[in-house]
Amino acid sequence: MKRINILALFFSMIILMPSAVLAGPGRTGAQILNLGGGTRAAALGDAFSTTTGDVTTAFWNPSGLATMPQKESGEKEKQAAISYTDYSQLFGEASDGLYYAFFAGALPLEGGGTLGTTLQIQGQGTILVTTDSPEPIREENLGTNWAWTVSYADRLADRLSAGISGKIIQMKLGPESGRAFAVDLGLQYDLPSVPIPITIGAAVQNWGTRIKFKDENQSDPLPRVFRLGTAATLYQDNNHRLRIVGELTSFIDKLKEDDDEGIDAFLAENPGVTRGDLLSDRGVGIHAFEWKNMQKGVGVEYWLANLLALRVGYKDDPGINLPDLADHITYGLGVRLLNYQFDYALIPGGGPDNKRLNVFALILKF
């Protein structure tokens, strides 16, 4: 009964979900939810919704927790992870104290399924406070944002997994704080009768309340997303494993554009532009699923003897104009020793000089 209820919950919430529209950068609150989860995913261009057995999959698609690796004893593996990204290098002195930390844990349950949790922490840095003179009178900390998620996943059938997450998001904006609640829902399915193992996955994330600081006039929707991904294991034996992953992400927020007066004024000043063109440019409604409005990610991972992993990826974000092809490339490696795994990734970071960011992670398996 438990398995049927999870699947029914997933589909009923998809059908009843009252919102499906692009929520681009700057149009939503709680941007901490867009900062990623784990170094392995970062190196693979954030194409991670079809990965299984990794503690960080709960961030991308909770159903990935359903199948955790087995130890030699036959017991399922428990995992814990910490990932850290230093953002202070992007904007010079203006970015002192900017960082992002990600924690994750996964605990297989004796009765079936896996319980997982993640904690995201974002340091917003400090600013110098001045009065009438340019000389600062004090340094003020801008506070810390965080998001805590609890997930559960299980196998519904031989090839089908489902997962659900509930989360609390706490944001800091000057002296004010805002809080929101949301859920994630995900499915993964292993295709039968194919020459190589292929998995497809889908997830709806951050569907919940608005992040509100004082009242509805000072609130923003969460950055909701719909993920659709696939993964194929191209080759695998005792010492080698080669896997390719791909993912499309649509940023969803609401059913229609609520700035009708602004649209009418724009169309009046630009007679050559139609309403459909404008909604397409903004990614409103069904236009959120147009190719130009979706985030695209692809990655390749190679494991040598389950000890060394090499990873490379490509990520294309809508609305972010990176000058060179190389600016879209992500890459990294992983080293596994006994119960420990160290992951590293180098990813585009942005900023005025388009610097890259180093991302580090440590995973414990026990």
Chain segment 62-98, per-residue pLDDT in tens: 999 999 998 878 789 999 999 999 888 776 666 678 8
Helix (H/G/I), strand (E/B), else coil: 333: strand
| 80 vs 354 pLDDT, higher one | 80
Which pairs with CB-CB distance under 8 Å and at least 24 residues apart come from 231-239? 231/50, 231/51, 231/198, 231/199, 231/201, 232/196, 232/197, 232/198, 232/199, 233/196, 233/197, 233/198, 234/196, 238/305, 239/304, 239/305
What are the pLDDT digits (tens) for 194-225? Answer: 999 999 999 999 999 998 887 666 778 899 99
Give the DSSP H/E element, type plus range, for residue 272: none
Element (H, E) at 52: none
DSSP-assigned states of every residue in 189-231: EEPSS-SS-EEEEEEEEEEEPPEESSSGGGEE---EEEEEEEE
- Which tens digit of pLDDT belongs to each residue from 160-177? 999 999 999 999 887 788
* Number of domains within the chain: 1
Which among 248, 325, 297, 232 is positioned nearest to 41, based on CA atoms?
297
Q: Dihedral sign, CA of 20, 21, 22, 26?
A: negative
**Other residues' Cβ atoms within 10 Å of the Cβ of residue 330:** 24
We report the CATH number of the domain holding residue 129 as: 2.40.160.40
| Bridge partner list, 173 | 176
- In the prediction, which pLDDT does 298 show? 98
Pick the residue with more confidence: 37 or 15?
Answer: 37
The model's pTM: 0.86
122 forms bridges with which residues in the sheet? Answer: 100, 145
Identity of the residue numbered 263: I
The whole domain housing 296 covers 2-365
